[in-house]
Structure 1
């Protein structure tokens, strides 16, 4: 980030006023991150506000990093700005420009760096929860060593807990576990069972705490479903009894059918007679045939027109009968559902408790645990008041970003943090305390993660009431509610289209209470284009074509998108933001509603078309083809008789066989393993491949998984190069993540090939790409992944998707609690006929919420575009037109102009206008691929210089191996020398009459293990040196101690530390201390190694201080004696250094 500050406008400027609490509704592209950053800057400029008093909570790590980087970049820039430029910066954010504020602005960067923790606390809510739990681990009930759970940890532990549960149940034949498990496995498969059990584990409040669910649960399940706790089949008999069942209406229906007299009527009268003639459970049994005789499967009255001729009131009578039968059928369904739910929930409870025990045993805590435990610390813990008090003394200003995506548990934390801001002691007299919340209801799209935009509205009402009550009628102290509607991202024509879409679909369809304010954008050109949907070939199409295993319409859609992008890049698509130019690959973003097959197809087709493209934004680590190919090699290495893995390996880029070669050289007699067939083959292709595979098998016997993967990628096989050539550069990230996974496995497990494959298969990680910026590549991602991103050109690739095609997932029912409130109980996946009563109501409520999010997702998708938005999609094989509630169907009527013919799409409709063509630029021919220069493949020669800097103190050392263990006397002498050096460093700055006492105290602390006599001898040695008048200049206040020196002398880096350095206008004196017990008595006795050391010092100082006289001396502390070394003696020792040094002058230290 450059650290530039942009002027704030209108409500942006009002929102950053630091003395007001603000609730800001910010539409897409309106600069909310800039406003948040400016708000933090304004707070930091306030007198009395310290960086540690500010807490910023964001929704994503990327958002937290971006905001932190922005603020720190501005603060760092303010340190060095000229006064007039700094004043402009402060004016841009509405801050005063007086000298005091400017001085404070220049010191804020240092204040942030000095803040506990190393900077501003700008965190995600999960990161803040981790910090809070780390600050109060005992109070949170965490054992030592507890660590956050990663996704792979979660999957592996879930499998382990389920496996243990099954094994223990089988050992004792526990039907309470095995029965429900078998029943659920038949209904939803093993993966579905595990997902259901994990949902039960997440519903922790159901199984623990006051009023927790305990077996037997049947009565509680009945109450949950709206039935009496003792409801049974007896209640069904009651619903069929006279006076409850509308038998009068049934007799009238019987009479009308008898009067009609047809075969159909006779069947109906017989069914009615059977029902009326039965009693007890017989009537319950007869109700089914009665329903089938009188009504269709859809519940419509049979032969209504004919029967109304016999009895004009037949419809009313039949509807009364239908109501009675409906009540009976619903009660039957609810009783059957209770029989299904009871064992499913009891099994869920067993798993949930085992899951909690396993997490505690392994010392793991998941994201939900972090939020829950943090909320408990602040709200329900016995010491919550104390913890809130401690935090209350720390945080005075809390800022929340993306508040619409904050769930209830997270709001509980925020409310607890701010609970004392505006009441009682928390107000802390005149101290300024504020809350700043920014969000946008229209962008609430993470319901699948447990968020609810209703919480956003509820929190707004909560804070408005709290703050307004404290304001006592003073409008300047009330919660300031503002909105941002001016977009700095999107062109006005595109925003007009967005406004029309909201108006046409209806604000309430988005979950809004009223029509939002119109968007205001830049007046540059903007274009919205509707591509004619891609239709399937129909049922008569040939199914034997290539890639028939792919969805044919989606494959065609991917082909056309690739063709369109290639045309844009070839012919030019003009853009105007930032200067007129043609679009490049990094200007294009392709969005899909869900992470399905289409995204991967688009990436593959773009790559095949030669378009630079990044991989999809998020995928399972085991899904990319490059990873599958490498895993096939590992699986074959672990089990050579695995013919399927070997076949996959052979046709992968690692070996390079074609499908035809596999058929030709791999065809064999039934029962013969493929490996045996290949290594026994006589064809050169078989023999060559067998030799390569034998090398792989030999290495697999000895190499750990990570080393084997490295060998496959960069060894003789050159696997990485082959994979990139076939699959494109987007394969790099999955390969690197596979290597990271192998490294992570080795750090926690004993490495083995079979163990790694089992570990990897048990819980594949998820690969998440950083899609911000594009990096000159076309980006393909989900709309959810695009949140916070933008692009000049955006393509909605699956706008024809039917929102009703996916069933409502993760249904829950709410159990009413005696004291008010409710407890959310999970429901397993149910068939249509099993849903009744409150389950139907819950499903309808969920569908409404899902449909609202469907339209909010459209808003987010459309507002990613800066200048051009393209809307398209593919139809299913049996679809004639897009589904009524698809994005495509609801947006198509907005295009009022006649469609235009198009060579790729057949027909397109446009809104707005394309930007004027960019000025022509000279075509640049791509240069022919040149071969590598000679030096790239030439062997590297021996290094002529030491690879590390030359230390002067080691310049005279003999080249040879160190002794295995230093002698005791050597260690004692080395320590003695260090202590004397430290005394000579510290004592010169102390008054002479205090040196003895302070030096003795320092030695007592630093060398308490030495005898007192030895410490006194060391002190005496240092004091004797300092008492010599001849050494006064060396230890004067103008001399420097322990000075680091570094210079490049003739290509050799010389680096060391001078014990004493005296810098004078025309002369530099360097002194090195020696503590040897037998010091030389004259210059002639000074060791050669010392002379070479001092020569290196002098050579380095001549580079650093060119033109000055350099004097060198050695001070022997034992004598004490200072021996000056003449220049001519040192010059003779510089032969290992060049006479013409390369200079990197250091700044003067005078």
Structure 2
């Protein structure tokens, strides 16, 4: 057996073990090893084993992952329902890893069972599950029964409202303590810094909420902050200085002796001796000196301890043998005191911030509660508290204990500690020994700590290993089966890529933070014999840039000579060369296509924009950015400029922007001709001179139309008119490209959302849109024949045959440092960087080390997106490459094993390659269909033609508009007449089913209901009229056992769709009788007096029933209730009125 076959068999065995529903399993899976398949296999086997769909809960990280998993499962179960027996046995046997000879009927029914399960199979995100849980137990969770979940924009609006309310109270003097807090904060940060720290605090409110709950109040949190800084409860800046100035706190004789030694030294020594001596002899000045001249003897201007050589010169040192010891001891005391002062300043700033945060969050929570709202954090925290609380938690667990038997967790490495709390609480009863009922119950989790890159969302990769140990111990204590499974075999990347991964992370410093257990990094590939390529290009370095004329150079323009632009051009040239030459992707035996290529960056910025621009310049299909700021998109900016103009026609700038946009396409010459020398506004000039040029005239007409609609048209309707009938979307997409569709669609969706929650006005919508930044995430996941430019975070879970990594020469820097420092027990806010003492510096160093760990995990994710080829490149700034950057890690791994090649870059590149030795693998690579840009068909821009007949269903009781004249609504008996008719019809429908002796009582009881508003005489009259019909011997056949009431009939007659209800249908051998009740008063005496509408109605009924009963005679009868008497309509008369 070859090593490749053995690896494949081992991988299949590991997958089957992971999918075994008879045991709880924890899977650690490398990138591309088939995690989603294992989850689908496990759910399939659970269902095959007889588990009800409602008993399974599968939690995913994203909605897209949930949808993908549900689709795969539906596709499998749907195929099982239709496969021939032999093929189905083979499919199930492959799933189980053994031959299957059991009953196939249960497997075929699974698809229907899943569809029929209440609420469907529970494959959802953790947030969606918590939302449903809170919706199921709102009272127990103390949330509004019909709560709504808010998005990030609404959350920001509520926080801004809460903040403004606090400021208003403080400014008005209604809360002196709050006013004092704001004054203290204003002395520490400016407005921008304040907003930043508040955003950070609000973003971490889960941690703050937990800490407050732990200590019971903000005061308890502040006390914990003091303790973490080593400060006593009563220590303040004055008390610290006073204590440091006391004689007992320093060696006074020793310091005088030091002064004598310093007098023997240089002028600097002598000056320091004077400072020390003055401080010692003047106790009143000591406190001030400790933060002034005296402290400067021992500390630098930056507050750092002076080096030993800078404290005392050689001459002074030789004057007294113990001088150096004395000065070092005093320096250590001053340093400790300075740290204490910094700690006290930190306590002051933290106290001010937390006091404000308490008020802010209280306001925010109050606003949500009064409006019945929850944010995404609330969903997790409220669900956690519901499941872990002391009150109703037992009841909730009792109800859930009968509903969930199996929990599956996808992407477990991205699960935050709070989310693990929810999962742990759900699974607590699984290993408790006794639950609400007997039965086998399991926990399954699959993840890869090497791919944990969402720390900004609370993900903790170390928790992955902690929870594995937790559940394995719980299972062992309960005597339950437990397996830890590894999946190292990749079905995605070729061996050349995976071998490079192992080399990159082989050094301990590179592997730091990649894994948290003791398992070594090990990758295997299932694509043996497939060609692979890794190239490391030389970096682009800065060049001397010419001075640009500020008048001509936009502030945000990146010079063409910058290394970023040169690298973007180099990558674009390479891709263009491949597409033009038909470069072969050897593993698939076909040319490389644009859709095969993915360009990954660490963050969106100038390079990503330049990269997209360079690709577009060369005519290369490109999908655009994977995430965009909506108000920065050109299409949206043009629409907003139009809105600003129609709201204020005197706004010349906005009008100029609109005229130059694709909506009107005027050029600079047009604008200069209009604007130069004008005496009024640009709009007045355009209207006056519109006849001079056709494009001016067209623009003026369209703008006048928009102006006329602006004041009374809601935003969505206004912009729909701009984009639809007037061709605005077509014009914008024509110039900006297909990617303009996404921001336009999102813009319209926001307009609709705004109208749902606010008073619909164009001005309000414009202000609302500009008040908060709206990020749009574009779906670049599925088969687009375009180059994808994405962040590594956005590419998580995706793959490409060819991957470029151009953003490799920088590392996370100090600009990303958090303002807040979390100790695990408390939170600290230094306020100023100079305030950071040793505890803060240690926390800061730990945070930076954690960021570097995630930085390296991000590289792992980036490399493992590549299936066949990986190209690593980068640009340097004036300081060169950063230590420990991706480029450095890749270069270290490739040196010694890679070949040096000349690619014409001026410096050699490094290449690792493997030749194709196996057949092309068509199964693992689906050729993407290229989508060529096409003109919108002309029919899409025209009004829809009239519908051909048959049109909408025609009610025979109203077949035309030739109705008889309607009586005046002012008639004395008119309202009673229609009510009377409806009541008689209702009685004639229901009374025939009752025994004759009970009909009168039932009729009167029904008519006497208050809802009908009838007096006693009317009740008697209508009951008597109805019973007279039922008791009449001539009508007995109409209400016999072979008759039915209110029979629906539908058919196509004479080019019309007939849809109606027949009052009564009696069927006897050879004859079908249609009976229609008429309550007109007085009724016609003979057939000639029947209204035409009734004749057409009955003729339509007859034609429809002739199609249904072709071997029967169809008889039509009008039964006049006033009398009563039955009138049979002649066939001749009906023929004249047939449809």
TM-score (norm 1): 0.83
Paired with 2:514 and 2:244, the residues of 1 have a C-alpha distance of 42
Provide closer, same or farther for how the CA distance between residues 83 and 210 of structure 1 changes in structure 2, counting only shifts above 3 A.
Answer: same
- Whole-Å separation in 2 of the counterparts to 1:44 and 1:151: 38
Structure 1: stretches of 5+ with no match in the other structure: 1-5, 472-476, 815-821, 988-992, 1137-1150
The equivalences for 1:544-555 within 5 A come to: 549-551=556-558, 552-555=562-565
d(CA) in 2 for partners of 1:462 and 1:927? 54
Asked if 1:885 corresponds to 2:884, the answer is: yes
Equivalent pair of 2:733/2:740 in contact (CA under 8 Å): yes
Equivalent runs, 1:435-454 vs 2, <5 Å: 435-454=443-462
SS of corresponding position for 1:785: helix
Moved more, 249-258 or 331-340: 249-258
CA-based RMSD of the aligned residues comes to 4.7
1:291 aligns with 2:298: yes
Are the equivalent residues in 2 in contact too, given 1:629–1:652 (CA < 8 A)?
yes
Aligned-pair CA distance for 1:391: 0.7
Q: What corresponds to 1:770 in structure 2? A: 779
Alpha-carbon distance between aligned partners in 2 of 1:908 and 1:1102, rounded to the nearest angstrom:
86
- Quick one: distance in 2 between partners of 1:871 and 1:445? 20
Matched, 1:183 2:183: no
* Comparing 605-614 and 489-498, the one that deviates more: 605-614
The counterpart of 1:518, out of the listed 523, 528, 551, is: 523
* 1:1044-1123 aligned within 5 A: 1045-1046=1050-1051, 1052-1055=1056-1059, 1072-1076=1074-1078, 1092=1096, 1109=1111, 1111-1114=1113-1116
1:1018-1042 superposed Cα distances (whole Å, 9 cap, x missing partner): 689679899968998955xxx9994
Matched, 1:24 2:27: yes
Map 1:964-979; keep pairs closer than 5 Å: 967-977=975-985
Corresponding residue for residue 482 of structure 2: 479
Structure 1 residue aligned with 2:426, among 417, 428, 434?
417
Q: Deviations over 1:122-156 (max 9, x none)?
A: 22111111111111112222235432112221111
- The alpha carbon displacement at 1:891 in A equals 0.7
Find 1:561's aligned residue among 568, 571, 588: 571
Secondary structure at the counterpart of residue 550 of structure 1: coil
Number of the residue aligned with 1:597: 606
Q: 1:494-893 maps to which residues of 2 (within 5 A)?
A: 494-504=497-507, 506-514=510-518, 515-523=520-528, 524-538=530-544, 542=548, 549-551=556-558, 552-575=562-585, 579-658=588-667, 666=675, 684=692, 693-716=703-726, 718-804=727-813, 806-809=815-818, 811-814=820-823, 823-825=825-827, 827-828=828-829, 830-876=831-877, 878-880=878-880, 882-893=881-892
* Structure 1 residues 1112 and 892: alpha-carbon distance in aligned structure 2, compared to 1, 3 A threshold: farther
Instruction: Give, in angstroms, the shift of residue 647 of structure 1.
Output: 4.3
Per-residue deviation, 1:270: 6.0
Deviations 1:1055-1087 (A, max 9, x none): 5567899999xx998664423369999999987
C-alpha distance in structure 1 between counterparts of 2:785 and 2:233, whole Å? 64
Aligned to 1:465: 473
Q: Give the direction of change, closer, same or farther, for the CA distance of 1:649–1:982 in structure 2 (3 Å limit).
A: same
- Give, in whole Å, the separation in 1 of the partners of 2:107 and 2:1027: 48
Deviation per CA, 1:692-749: give whole Å up to 9, x if none. Answer: 6555444323333223323332354x43233222321111111121112122222222
- Mapped contact 1:1101–1:1110 kept (Cα < 8 A): no
SS in 1 for 2:190: helix
Q: What SS is found at the alignment partner of 2:473?
A: helix
Is the contact between residue 453 and residue 857 of structure 2 (CA under 8 Å) also seen in structure 1?
yes
Matched, 1:390 2:399: yes
What's the counterpart of residue 949 of structure 1? 953
State the match for 1:160 in structure 2: 161
Shift of 1:445: 1.0
Check 1:1032–1:902 CA distance in 2 against 1; reply closer, same or farther (3 A cut).
Answer: farther
> Is the CA contact 1:396–1:432 (under 8 Å) kept in the aligned structure 2?
yes
Superposed, which structure 2 residues align to 1:68-79 within 5 Å?
A: 68-79=70-81
TM-score norm. by structure 2 comes to 0.84
Q: Are 1:624 and 1:734, in contact at CA under 8 Å, matched by a contact in 2?
A: yes
Q: How far apart are the structure 1 equivalents of 2:356 and 2:270?
A: 49
Q: 1:277 to 1:1123 in 2, by over 3 A?
A: same
Describe the shift of the 1:230–1:497 C-alpha distance in structure 2 as closer, same or farther (beyond 3 A): same
1:672 Cα offset (Å):
8.5
C-alpha change, 1:639 and 1:929, in structure 2 (3 Å) is closer
| SS of corresponding position for 2:665 | coil
Task: Give the match's secondary structure for 2:444.
Answer: strand
Distance, in Å, in 2 between the alignment partners of 1:560 and 1:1006 is: 87
Question: Per-residue CA shift, 1:572-601, capped at 9, x if unaligned?
Answer: 343356x43223333222222123333333
Structure-1 separation of matches of 2:267 and 2:859: 54
Task: Give the drift of 1:954.
Answer: 4.3
| Alpha-carbon distance between aligned partners in 2 of 1:329 and 1:158, rounded to the nearest angstrom | 37
Of residues 10, 14, 18, the one that matches 1:11 is 14
Q: Distance in 1 between matches of 2:817 and 2:1042?
A: 84
Q: Secondary structure at the match of 2:135?
A: helix
Deviation at 1:402, TM superposition (A): 1.4
| Cα distance in 1, alignment partners of residues 63 and 739 from structure 2 | 23
Match of 1:1145 in 2: none
Q: What's 1:343 paired with?
A: 352
Q: Give the drift of 1:650.
A: 4.1
C-alpha displacement at 1:850, in angstroms? 1.3
Deviations 1:642-699 (A, max 9, x none): 4543443344333434457656754679x99766777788995797566665554443
Maintained 8 Å contact 1:590/1:797: yes
> Number of matched residues?
1087
- After superposition, where does 1:322-337 map in structure 2 within 5 Å? 323-337=332-346
Q: Is the 8 A contact 2:612 2:622 kept in 1?
A: yes
Q: Distance in 1 between matches of 2:793 and 2:872?
A: 17
Change (3 A) 1:929 1:73: closer
* Pairing of 1:246-261 with structure 2 (within 5 A): none
What is the deviation of 1:11?
1.1
Contact 1:531 1:872 in 2 (8 A): yes
CA distance 1:124–1:442, change in 2 (3 Å): same
For residue 603 of structure 1, report the CA deviation from its aligned partner. 3.0
C-alpha distance 1097-1013 of structure 1, shift in aligned 2 (>3 A):
closer
Q: 1:574·1:583 contact (CA, 8 Å) conserved in 2?
A: yes
CA distance in 1, matches of 2:416, 2:932: 55
Shift in Å at residue 945 of structure 1? 2.8
Cα pair distance change 1:796/1:938, threshold 3 Å:
closer
Q: Deviations over 1:424-478 (max 9, x none)?
A: 431733x11111111111111110011211222221111111111111xxxxx33
Give 3-state SS (helix, strand or coil) of 2:429's partner.
Answer: coil
1:171 shift after superposition: 1.3
Q: Which residue of 1 aligns with 2:59?
A: 57
Q: Is the 8 A contact 1:139 1:383 kept in 2?
A: yes
Q: Is the 8 A contact 1:1026 1:1032 kept in 2?
A: no
In 2, are the aligned partners of 1:564 and 1:904 still within 8 Å (CA)?
Answer: no
| Alignment gaps of 5+ in structure 2 | 1-8, 923-928, 1013-1018
* Alpha carbons 1:1042, 1:1057 under 8 Å: kept: yes
1:264-413 alignment, distance < 5 Å: 280-281=286-287, 282-291=289-298, 300-302=307-309, 323-413=332-422
After superposition, residues 1008-1023 of structure 1 pair within 5 angstroms as none
- The separation in 2 between residues aligned to 1:1040 and 1:77, in whole angstroms, is 44
Deviation digits for residues 131-187 of structure 1 (CA, Å, limit 9, x no counterpart): 111111122222354321122211111111111211221112743244145335517
